[in-house]
Amino acid sequence: MGYLATLWLGACIALGAVTASCVILEQEASTAGFFLLVAVVLLSLLDSFISSVIFSVVGAALLNYFFTEPINSFGISNTADLFSLVAFLVTSLAITTLVRRIRRVEKTQRAQAQLLELTHDIIIMRDKHDMITYWNQAAETLYGWKKEEAVGKFIDELLNSVFPLPREELQRIFLRDGQWEGELIHTRRDGTEIIVTSRWALQRDGAGNPLATLETNNDITRRRRAEDLLRKSEAQYFAEAQKLSRTGSFGRNFSSGEVFWSEQTFSIFEYDLEVAPTIELVRQRVHPDDIPVFEETLAKASSSTADFDIEHRLLFPDGRIKHVRVVAHATNDQPNNKQFIGAVMDVTRAKQTEAQLRHAQSEVERISRVTALGELSASIAHEVGQPLSAIVTNGEACLHWLHRQPPDMEEIEGCVNQMTDQANRAAEIVKRVRALMKGAPPDRAPIAINDVVEEATAVIRRDIERHGGLLTRRLASGLPLILGDRVQLQQVLVNLIINAMQSMASVSGRRELTVQSRLDPEGNVVVAVKDSGPGIQEANLQQLFEPFFTTRSAGMGMGLAISSSIVEAHRGQIWASNNRDGGATFSFSLPPAIKQEVRE
Ligand code: ADP
């Protein structure tokens, strides 16, 4: 508001002064009109359209009052004066409007030009002779020349431009298309070279003649250097990887006949890097026996796009042999551009390792056969030995009852029955061993563990009694069936019972043997053989189940090892512990049949 008041006051004074000057100097209406018009136009530049109108009207009023007849009155006696006044008014309004519009356009242009200064892109305008007419702030920063230094210079000379194609050809394309885009190399004021992406747009006049060019540049020097570095390091990694993996690559263009080998391919074929690679050079290295395979592959390769994977040998002049594996295929991506691309791997070491491995494997097999045979013999001797000694015991008993007068036929019959049972057991064991040798799986049938306990204890009942042992059986009822091999499980129990008896033989006093069956919290069936012997020494607890571990002079150390492998084959567990009241307990647990079936 203050500005407006000042402006109007100033305007009144200015117009008054012009009028007064003209009155004093006794100027005519036309001269006074001219000066008033100048004053009105100048004042109008300072404010809005309304002010311009008011100044114009005030100017016209002053002109009317002081310079038209009658003087010092607003009356108009002359029609010509009326026209002059109207002409003054219209001219004043027209000029002020025009001037104001020009100023607005100028303001907008200035704002736009400022925007161009703000951008990071380099913006250069040049005339049709490539002389620089505009050079923005970013151009100053990048190239190092100030606006005043650049404007008026020929751009190609100033920037020492290097073009991707001859300048004349580029110009021809640019004039034809009206635009161009590409990479240029420019030299900055400090002499350093930079790479820019450059976009040119052509401005034509109404007749279509070239007028000016707008050039926008972006500095991509850093990006390009980083890309170059990356490319270099990638190539380095690639070469290193090929070296490490002993793999070379190769390519062959069918139409041009051109052959490419990577550095590693040269190294595999042992040729100098300077040699021009050819198929013939490869052929010279192929082992004579493998030439047919090689030729066949070459022939197939030129007629199909299938993948190839062959192995053959290379024979070097000094008689060395290398094994190579070649994988390749022909590509036909572009018409008339069939290429054969592949990799060649030096697999000599792998081949040697493979041969060594095969040798080692057959050695292991041989050793394990020998070992298995040894274990098997030990196992047969141990397992068959037990029923045989039972037969001997029963035979002796039989003789004893026979020599009685009169012979006790009932006892004799019992002994003979026992002998038959033991002999059958021995036969069954031999049968199992034979099956094992053939690799036949053990019999698997649902069995009640208590039956197994009954049968096993019946078999060695006499032995127990002969050694003065007292056998107690505590069998839980309602135990789930287990899935297993009846004879093998009997074997385990007999082993445990015999061990218990043997250990109790060293103690005087009671010789109590308890065989117990029960269910553990996990639902597994547990059988425990408890004795009143001397127990197990702490140091031996860990090794009891290892083959050939024994503390007995006549022992073989196989009983518990065999028992353990039988129980494990039934997915069970076997363990030993010392009793609080003396003696040891050997237990094994077996999963119930249902659980096992689900697992299998
Ligand atoms: P062997 O009976 O031929 O020695 P085993 O494998 O059957 O072979 O037993 C290995 C060892 O385990 C025995 O030598 C003995 O030291 C120990 N052992 C086995 N059963 C008992 C037991 N009930 N009490 C104490 N020690 C035992």
Strand 525-531 vs strand 482-484: parallel, antiparallel, or unpaired? Answer: unpaired
Mean pLDDT along residues 1-22:
85
On whether residue 227 sits in a domain, the answer given is no
CATH code for the domain in which residue 303 is found: 3.30.450.20
Q: Are the CB atoms for 560 and 382 separated by under 8 Å?
A: no
Residue 162 has pLDDT above 60, yes or no: yes
Write down which residue in 115, 150, 165 finishes a domain: 115
What is the tally of structural domains in the chain?
A: 5
CA of 546 to the centre of ligand 1 (A): 11
Tell me if 555 CB under 6 Å of ligand 1: yes
pLDDT at 532 over 90: yes
Do 104 and 130 belong together in one domain?
A: no
Q: Mark whether 423 and 479 lie in a shared domain.
A: no
pLDDT tens across 293-339, in order?
Answer: 888 888 887 777 778 888 899 999 999 999 999 988 877 666 566 77
Q: Which residue has the higher pLDDT, 215 or 77?
A: 215
The residue whose CA has the least distance to atom 23 of ligand 1 is 500
**Given ligand 1 and candidates 529, 560, 564, which is best to mutate, with the most ligand atoms within 8 Å of its CB?**
560
Report the pLDDT averaged over residues 270-299: 90
* CATH code for position 474: 3.30.565.10
pLDDT mean across residues, the chain: 85
Res 367: pLDDT? 52
Q: Which residue has the higher pLDDT, 49 or 309?
A: 309
503 lines ligand 1 (CB under 6 A): yes
Highest mean pLDDT among 240-244, 375-379, 595-599: 240-244
**pLDDT tops 90 at residue 217:** yes
Q: pLDDT > 90: what percent of the chain?
A: 37
Report the separation in Å between the CA atom of 92 and the middle of ligand 1, taken as the mean of its atom positions. Answer: 132
User: H/E/C letters for each residue in 107-162?
Assistant: HHHHHHHHHHHHCCCEEEEEECCCEEEEECHHHHHHHCCCHHHHCCCEHHHHHCCE
* Per-residue pLDDT at 369: 46
33 found inside a domain: yes
> Residue holding tokens 């518990």?
560
Residues with Cβ within 8 Å of 36's Cβ and at least 6 positions away in sequence, in order, are 15, 18, 19, 22, 59, 62, 63, 88
232 within ligand 1 shell (Cβ under 6 A):
no
The pLDDT value recorded for residue 579 is: 95
Mean pLDDT, rounded, for 555-576: 87
CA angle 219/222/226 to nearest 5° reads: 145
C-beta of 585 in contact with ligand 1 (< 6 A): no
Residues 6 and 36 in one domain: yes
Q: Do 289 and 279 share a structural domain?
A: yes
CA distance 356 to 335: 48
Mutate which of 499, 550, 577 for ligand 1? The one with the most ligand atoms within 8 Å of its CB, which is: 499
Higher pLDDT, 376 or 428: 428
356 in a structural domain:
no
74: pLDDT confidence band, cut at 50, 70 and 90? confident
Do both 368 and 488 map to the same domain? no
Asked whether residue 599 carries a pLDDT value surpassing 50, the answer given is: no
Question: 542 falls in which pLDDT band (50, 70, 90)?
Answer: confident
Question: Would 354 be classed as within a structural domain?
Answer: no
433 and 445 part of one domain: no
583 CA distance to ligand 1 middle (Å): 12
Atom of ligand 1 nearest to the CA of 555: 3
Mean pLDDT, to the nearest integer, of 86-109?
A: 84
pLDDT score at 12:
86
Rg (CA), the chain: 58
* Domain finish residue from 440, 458, 492: 440
Could you tell me the distance, in angstroms and rounded to a whole number, from the CA of residue 565 to the centre of ligand 1? 16
* More confident of the two residues 191 and 553: 191
* Å from CA of 544 to ligand 1 middle: 7
Q: Which of 81-85, 187-191, 532-536 has the lowest mean pLDDT?
A: 81-85
- pTM greater than the 0.75 cutoff: no
Q: What would the mean pLDDT of 334-357 be, rounded to a whole number?
A: 81
Does residue 382 carry a pLDDT above 90? no
- Residues shown for the chain: 600
Per-residue confidence (pLDDT) for residue 600, from 0 to 100: 44
Separation between Cα atoms, residue 431 and residue 486, nearest integer Å: 14
CA of 499 to the centre of ligand 1 (A): 6
Q: Give yes or no: residues 424 and 445 share one domain.
A: no
**Is there an atom of ligand 1 within 6 Å of 541 CB?**
no
Average pLDDT in the 347-364 region? 76
pLDDT score recorded for residue 107: 86
562 Cα nearest atom in ligand 1: 6
Select from 64, 99, 115 the last residue of a domain.
115
Structural domain range at position 301: 239-346
- Does residue 484 form part of some domain? yes
* Minimum-distance ligand 1 atom for the alpha carbon of 545: 6
Quick one: pLDDT at residue 238? 81
Indicate if 124 and 14 belong to the same structural domain: no
> Is residue 314, in this structure, part of any structural domain at all?
yes
pLDDT at 334: 60
pLDDT at residue 372 tops 70: no
Judge whether 460 lies within some domain: yes
Same domain, 127 and 35: no
Domain presence at residue 228: no
Residue 132 shares a structural domain with residue 103 = no
With a 6 Å cutoff on the Cβ, whether 84 touches ligand 1 is no
431 and 392 fall within a common domain: yes
Does residue 379 or residue 27 have the better pLDDT?
27
CA distance 311 to 309: 7
Kindly tell me if the per-residue pLDDT of 354 is higher than 60: yes
- Give the pLDDT mean for 103-115: 82
Same domain? 514 vs 436:
no
Is 500 close to ligand 1, i.e. is its CB under 6 Å away?
yes
What is the 271 CA–ligand 1 centroid distance (Å)? Answer: 70
Q: Rounded to the nearest whole angstrom, what is the distance from the C-alpha of residue 520 to the centroid of ligand 1?
A: 25
The encoded tokens of residue 330 equal: 């022909």
Give DSSP secondary structure letters for 286-305. B-GGGHHHHHHHHHHHHH--
pLDDT at 368 over 60: no
